[in-house]
Amino acid sequence: MIVQGIPSPGDGLRLHLNENTGGCSERVMEATRALTATDIATYPDYRHDVEAVGRYFGVDPDWVTLTNGLDEGIFLAAVATFGRAHDASLEAIVPVPAFDPYLTATAAVDARVVRVPPGPDFAFPADAIVAAVTPKTRLMFLNTPNNPTGQTISREALRRVIAAAPQATVVLDEAYVEFDPAGSFLDELPLFPNVVIGRTFSKAYGLAGMRIGVLIGHPKRLEAVRAVTPVFNMNTVAMTAMQAALADTRFLPAYTAAVAESRTRLYAACDRLGIPYWRSAANFVLMRVGARASAIVAALAERGVHVRDRSSDPYSPGCIRVTAGVTAHTDRAVAALESVTAAGLVETKVPR
């Protein structure tokens, strides 16, 4: 039987999807509980929510399109770019390793993916991206901080690669930028009419189950996306949750501080255990545990900690990705890592 969706791993700590491990703001729970039967029975009018998001990001509301998770935003950007082109030779550039939906969305609309491998230590391959641009390039997916590596893209590198492909829409995915606020390109967006910034309420805000993504870009660029966006793609419960999340100004600083402390604890554990890792600007850490990565993921799960197996990706061989959230959760992850290392599964001292 084929059933829609991704299976949940069952009991245990969910450190495999970079969610907020502490849950959402209590104000979100209060606001959603207060919804009435009529609210739920009515089709949503979320124009005032679009306006609130515009105010929050300091842009006019016509620079904003809300999407059902940034996943949908990525898909709609691909559909808007390639959907009516009927030309399978058109290209999307994707620096790898990358968030899978860039690849699946591009494939779904019959465009060609041009993968650009990273430099040493997952350095952003600006020169190689510029060299990969052709007259066929219509879309480019950039991601800072990058999932799964946690590495960032400098502003200088961003300006270069964006300028190299003026004929393309550049989707700049900032899903994790709340953990690296200085890294957001939002302040420069007005200078780059071909850029669409992607944000999400799934990570730092803890609203992954609500599915709220945001595309921010020049209204002309967003017009094509809106033309292919379902008219009621956002729902009333999610919009209520989002407004409450925006109103809780204390939530984000507290959680991002916990994430920073958790990353430090994960680095310290890796140093102690001899596991190579990459310092991350996001709420996860990529580690290289060696040839038995899949067995290690299974062994961690047996110890009640679910992490992401990245080892089948040729661009992150031998790697696992561990979410950094509430510090008590991180301590449990560290204990589980210590236990599987003691069991001799982890290949320590492998080169990064």
Ligand X SMILES: Cc1ncc(COP(=O)(O)O)c(C=O)c1O
User: Which residues of the shown chain bind ligand X in the complex (CB under 6 A)?
Assistant: 18, 69-71, 99, 143, 147, 173, 175, 200, 202, 208, 213
Q: Give residue 88's Cα distance to chain centre.
A: 27
Give the tokens for residue 214. 């945001």
Is the Cβ of residue 69 or residue 290 nearer to ligand X in the bound state? 69
| CA atoms within a 13 Å half-sphere pointing along the CA-CB vector of 181 | 8
- Least Cβ distance, residue 218 to ligand X (angstroms): 21
Query: How buried is 336 (Cβ within 10 angstroms: 0-12 exposed, 13-18 middle, 19+ buried)?
Result: buried
- Least Cβ distance, residue 282 to ligand X (angstroms): 8
Is the Cβ of residue 175 or residue 225 nearer to ligand X in the bound state? 175
Q: Tell me the C-alpha distance between 177 and 66, whole Å.
A: 18
- Least Cβ distance, residue 76 to ligand X (angstroms): 12
282, 179 in Cβ contact below 8 A? Answer: yes
Is the Cβ of residue 137 or residue 147 nearer to ligand X in the bound state? 147
Q: Tell me the C-alpha distance between 101 and 25, whole Å.
A: 28
- Least Cβ distance, residue 173 to ligand X (angstroms): 5
Is the Cβ of residue 225 or residue 299 nearer to ligand X in the bound state? 225
Q: Tell me the C-alpha distance between 241 and 93, whole Å.
A: 34
Is the Cβ of residue 201 or residue 251 nearer to ligand X in the bound state? 201
Is the Cβ of residue 82 or residue 205 nearer to ligand X in the bound state? 205
CB neighbours of 231 closer than 8 A, spacing ≥ 6?
none
Tally Cβ neighbours within 10 Å of residue 288. Answer: 23
> Among candidates 179, 159, 145, which has minimal Cα distance to 257?
179
306, 13 in Cβ contact below 8 A? Answer: yes
- Least Cβ distance, residue 200 to ligand X (angstroms): 3
The closest residue (CB) to ligand X is 69
- Least Cβ distance, residue 195 to ligand X (angstroms): 16
